């Protein structure tokens, strides 16, 4: 097999593949969500314990106090019987039963207690006929006390030692529910973290595929709303990238065709000169043709460089106060002869006074020349081309407007929407009518926007296209108007 007949082999693209970043422990969304949920659950458990344990302890103490109060009422009823021998027999039996329940019984007769240990203030209060209930120091130890008065300065007081280690016992009974709550919080945190992290991981995977060149990737839109917004944004980005790359491919194909055309002509004439095909009489005409094609090629290269630099921060601009009336008059001297040479009527519409604006005169003249060049390319002989300058409003501080109108074929309504996109009109009308490289209008729109103005396209009264360029006013006029 000859070298020319060898099949071509598509080589894979060689280059560094994107390496996914290493996940650091504790820095993933899942880990942080679990930690936050565990912390919240732990705080909730602690708060619950701080609230529930004292309530439980007070509940137990209240229950013991109520039980002791009931027994004190019973003891007072027994000791209140009228017959002494019955009172003594029943009282002794009751005292034995109470002491078997770890309850001490103090009997007060005529203001004197039968045993030591009770505080004197407590004894006096019962002897005065008042009830006593609560916690007091009895024999140097804290105890539950219930005292009930009897007729004649007598009384009975029941005491029970305060339950030791009550807080510990309550905590032992509550630790299992508290631990269950903590475990439930941990489980809920893990489920929530996975639910939140899953769509984010999906979005991250889609973004990685986008960066690798896959423009068909789409992310499912699902709740919550923030995740849905992220998915919609990624889907919109993928669609925009696909559209942008498609337009870029079309633009490159268009530009390559435009560059190839003058190069082919120059190469053909150069080969003819080298081979001696072109005689001495035809040499000047051939040179002029080659020069025209070289100028066309140079103009294309300049437009491409200008478009590439247009978005750069160091793109040179020198805005100064400009009279648009004078600028239009200067352009008339250049374009009147060019239009007359091809049978096109060129007309300038300017007011009697000045039209002040604040712009870069060189750049805005570049825009005007580009718009006039496009108009002259498509306007048939006898049709008009109009350059107009007018104030944007009655106030001089409103800025100025430059208009380029023609009597050519114009644009459709669909064309107006894409007129300033690179190569869009060129792609539509290539082979249908005379078209340029598709760069001029994009360059004009970019220059106007960088100058702080606006550009619009519509239908002209002359039958063709109408371009209107609004330029901002002189800042000095704004300050003067104020």
Query: Which is it for the CA torsion 49, 50, 54, 55, positive or negative?
Result: negative
What's the confidence (pLDDT) of residue 7? 37
**Before 39, cis peptide (omega within 30)?**
no
Rounded to the nearest 10 degrees, what angle do helices 29-79 and 166-211 cross at? 160
Rounded to the nearest 10 degrees, what angle do helices 324-341 and 361-378 cross at? 30
In contact, 408 and 421? CB cutoff 8 Å: no
Task: Give SS3 for 7.
Answer: coil
**Range from 148-157, 189-198, 327-336, 337-346 carrying the lowest mean pLDDT:** 189-198
**Could you tell me which residue, 221 or 6, shows the higher pLDDT?**
221
Average pLDDT over residues 97-104: 79
**Could you tell me which residue, 418 or 45, shows the higher pLDDT?**
418
**Range from 136-140, 270-274, 296-300 carrying the lowest mean pLDDT:** 296-300
Average pLDDT over residues 420-446: 71
**Could you tell me which residue, 360 or 53, shows the higher pLDDT?**
360
Average pLDDT, the chain: 77
What residue ranges define each of the domains in the chain, with the CATH number in brackets? Answer: 26-214 (no CATH), 246-310 (1.10.287.130), 320-481 (3.30.565.10)
Average pLDDT over residues 297-319: 69
Task: Decide if pLDDT at 25 tops 60.
Answer: no
Q: Which two tokens stand for residue 67?
A: 């039980």
In contact, 151 and 80? CB cutoff 8 Å: yes
In 3D space, the residue among 218, 234, 222 whose CA is nearest the CA of residue 196 turns out to be 222
**Could you tell me which residue, 89 or 145, shows the higher pLDDT?**
145
**Could you tell me which residue, 169 or 319, shows the higher pLDDT?**
319
Q: Whole-angstrom Cα distance, residue 287 to residue 274?
A: 13
What's the confidence (pLDDT) of residue 323? 92
Average pLDDT over residues 267-290: 82
Q: For the beta carbon of residue 312, count every other beta carbon within 10 angstroms.
A: 8
What's the confidence (pLDDT) of residue 10? 36
Residues near 189 by beta carbon (within 8 Å), at least 6 away in sequence: 33, 34, 36, 37, 38, 40, 41
Average pLDDT over residues 404-411: 90
**Per-residue pLDDT band at 349 (split at 50, 70, 90):** very high
**pTM of the complete model:** 0.46
């Amino acid at each position: 097999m000859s070298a020319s007949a060898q099949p071509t082999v598509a080589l894979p693209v060689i280059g560094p593949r994107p390496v996914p970043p290493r996940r650091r422990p504790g820095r993933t969304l899942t880990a942080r969500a679990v930690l936050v949920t565990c912390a919240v659950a732990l705080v909730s458990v602690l708060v619950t314990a701080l609230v529930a344990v004292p309530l439980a302890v007070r509940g137990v103490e209240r229950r013991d106090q109520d039980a002791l109060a009931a027994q004190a009422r019973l003891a007072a009823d027994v000791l209140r019987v009228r017959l002494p021998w019955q009172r003594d027999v029943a009282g002794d039996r009751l005292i034995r039963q109470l002491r078997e329940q770890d309850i001490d019984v103090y009997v007060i007769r005529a203001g004197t207690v039968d045993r030591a240990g009770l505080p004197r203030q407590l004894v006096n209060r019962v002897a005065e006929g008042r009830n006593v209930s609560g916690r007091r120091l009895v024999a140097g130890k804290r105890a539950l006390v219930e005292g009930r008065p009897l007729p004649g300065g007598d009384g009975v007081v029941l005491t029970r030692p305060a339950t030791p280690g009550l807080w510990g016992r309550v905590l032992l009974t509550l630790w299992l529910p508290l631990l269950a709550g903590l475990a439930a919080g941990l489980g809920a945190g893990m489920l929530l973290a996975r639910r939140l992290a899953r769509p984010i991981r999906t979005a991250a995977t889609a973004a990685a595929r986008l960066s690798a060149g896959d423009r068909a990737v789409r992310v499912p839109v699902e709740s919550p709303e923030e995740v849905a917004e992220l998915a919609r944004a990624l889907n919109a980005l993928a669609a925009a990238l696909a559209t942008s790359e498609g337009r870029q491919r079309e633009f490159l194909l268009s530009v390559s065709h435009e560059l190839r055309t003058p190069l082919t002509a120059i190469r053909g004439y150069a080969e003819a000169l080298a081979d001696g095909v072109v005689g001495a009489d035809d040499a000047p005409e051939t040179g002029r043709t080659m020069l025209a094609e070289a100028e066309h090629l140079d103009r294309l290269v300049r437009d491409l460089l200008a478009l590439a630099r247009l978005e750069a921060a160091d793109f040179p601009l020198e805005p100064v106060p400009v009279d648009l009336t004078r600028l239009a008059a200067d352009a008339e001297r250049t374009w009147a002869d060019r239009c007359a040479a091809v049978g096109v009527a060129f007309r300038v519409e300017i007011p009697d006074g000045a039209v002040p604006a604040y712009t870069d005169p060189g750049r805005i003249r570049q825009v005007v020349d580009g718009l006039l060049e496009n108009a002259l390319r498509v306007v048939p002989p006898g049709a008009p081309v109009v350059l107009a300058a007018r104030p944007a409003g009655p106030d001089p501080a409103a800025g100025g407007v430059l208009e380029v109108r023609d009597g050519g074929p114009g644009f459709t309504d669909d064309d107006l929407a894409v007129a300033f996109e690179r190569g869009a009109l060129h792609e539509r009308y290539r082979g249908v009518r005379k078209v340029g490289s598709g760069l001029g209008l994009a360059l004009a729109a970019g220059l106007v926007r960088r100058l702080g103005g606006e550009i619009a396209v519509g239908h002209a009264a002359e039958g063709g296209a109408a371009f209107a360029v609004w330029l901002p006013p002189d800042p000095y006029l704004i300050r003067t108007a104020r």
